């Protein structure tokens, strides 16, 4: 697995052992027991809300939630999840979390301006915020402790370089959610390093038959298209179907992983995938808020913690397959 960017996630374990002699008080023993309890995820149960921009049934966000729930179980956290692709409605969900007086908020900033005011309300209420996946550029400005995700521009650049290796000359980058800054950054990065011609194709991501129709129409109109870059695993499978339907030999690649994509990588219908490790984003975000609330820690010193990108190809798919099988990659 080829990595284009790396970031550090510190796994922190605090185990306190105090041995006190010649002490008439039991305070030392009680302090040691309390420290051990906190280290094991004990103590008061925290309530942490995650509010994302995802649509229902998105396999990527299923993996993010699995990571978050695993960390929540370890840390004795009550994990609450809600989502809406519309920026205004996502802001309302964040407000609902503030009203519930949660102990921390995890949020995506796909449409950052829509979340700016409500995140100020959260920080004014002394609720710590962590951002994931999208909006790294706005994260610190909006008061977040840290951002977990990949640098979308760098990830896009990596995809463009991979298409160069494949000898592609004319490509389309399929954006399935207009106004999503992360998706736009991916296409911009790919266009920057791609030596051929690349243009964006906007599709209605919530309607997969319409997505297929749009890609099919594009391939019919521009028969010399020899590469398709999608920005989510389900859209890659649809692009493959579109290419088959019109007899196009366009090579398909994508961002993000799921179980089905491993098979497609191995049989060659998908050329490569750019993996940002969504499980790690969910896990790291919950762990960061728990560490902050229980020990004042900020992972990464306030800088974005990179979870990708990593390029997965036919040659490296087998190494990822067991994890994709269980739904964590």
Residue 47 has which token pair? Answer: 């309530």
Q: Indicate the CATH number of 152-275 among 3.40.50.1820, 3.40.50.2300, 3.30.450.20, 2.40.50.140.
A: 3.40.50.2300
Question: What pLDDT is stored for residue 234 in this prediction?
Answer: 92
CATH architecture of 2-35+43-150+277-308: 3-Layer(aba) Sandwich (3.40)
Q: Which residues of the chain have pLDDT under 70?
A: 1-43, 56-57
Q: Is the pTM of this model over 0.85?
A: no
* Angle in degrees, CA 60, 66, 69, rounded to 5: 140
Question: What pLDDT is stored for residue 307 in this prediction?
Answer: 97
**CA–CA dist 125, 323 (Å, integer):** 39
Question: What pLDDT is stored for residue 15 in this prediction?
Answer: 34
**CA–CA dist 314, 2 (Å, integer):** 12
Question: What pLDDT is stored for residue 17 in this prediction?
Answer: 32
Question: What pLDDT is stored for residue 4 in this prediction?
Answer: 44
Question: What pLDDT is stored for residue 246 in this prediction?
Answer: 97
**CA–CA dist 114, 238 (Å, integer):** 30
Question: What pLDDT is stored for residue 172 in this prediction?
Answer: 98
Residues of the chain with CATH 3.40.50.2300: 2-35+43-150+277-308, 152-275
Question: What pLDDT is stored for residue 55 in this prediction?
Answer: 78
């Amino acid at each position: 697995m080829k990595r284009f960017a790396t970031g550090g996630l510190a796994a922190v374990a605090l185990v306190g052992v105090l041995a006190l002699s010649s002490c008439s008080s039991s305070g030392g023993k009680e302090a040691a027991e309390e420290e051990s309890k906190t280290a094991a995820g004990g103590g008061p149960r925290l309530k942490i809300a995650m509010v994302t921009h995802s649509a229902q049934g998105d396999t990527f966000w299923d993996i993010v939630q699995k990571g978050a729930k695993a960390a929540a179980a370890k840390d004795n956290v009550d994990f609450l999840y809600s989502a809406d692709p519309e920026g205004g409605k996502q802001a309302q969900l964040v407000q609902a979390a503030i009203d519930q007086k949660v102990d921390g908020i995890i949020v995506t900033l796909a449409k950052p301006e829509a979340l700016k005011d409500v995140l100020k309300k959260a920080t004014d209420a002394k609720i710590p915020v962590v951002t994931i996946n999208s909006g790294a550029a706005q994260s610190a400005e909006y008061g977040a402790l840290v951002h977990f995700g990949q640098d979308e521009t760098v990830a896009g650049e990596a995809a463009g370089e991979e298409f160069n290796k494949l000898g592609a000359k004319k490509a389309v980058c399929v954006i399935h959610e207009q106004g999503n800054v992360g998706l736009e950054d991916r296409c911009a990065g790919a266009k920057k390093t791609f030596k051929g011609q690349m243009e964006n194709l906007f599709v209605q991501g919530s309607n997969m038959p319409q997505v297929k129709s749009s890609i099919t129409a594009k391939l019919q109109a521009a028969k010399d298209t020899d590469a398709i870059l999608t920005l989510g695993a389900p859209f890659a499978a649809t692009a493959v179907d579109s290419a088959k339907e019109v007899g196009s030999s366009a090579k398909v690649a994508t961002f993000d992983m799921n179980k089905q994509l491993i098979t497609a990588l191995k049989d060659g219908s998908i050329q490569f995938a750019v993996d940002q490790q969504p499980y790690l984003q969910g896990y790291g975000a919950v762990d960061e808020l728990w560490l902050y609330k229980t020990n004042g820690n900020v992972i990464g010193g306030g800088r974005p913690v990179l979870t990708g990108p990593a390029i997965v190809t036919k040659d490296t798919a087998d190494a990822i397959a067991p994890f994709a099988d269980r739904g964590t990659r």
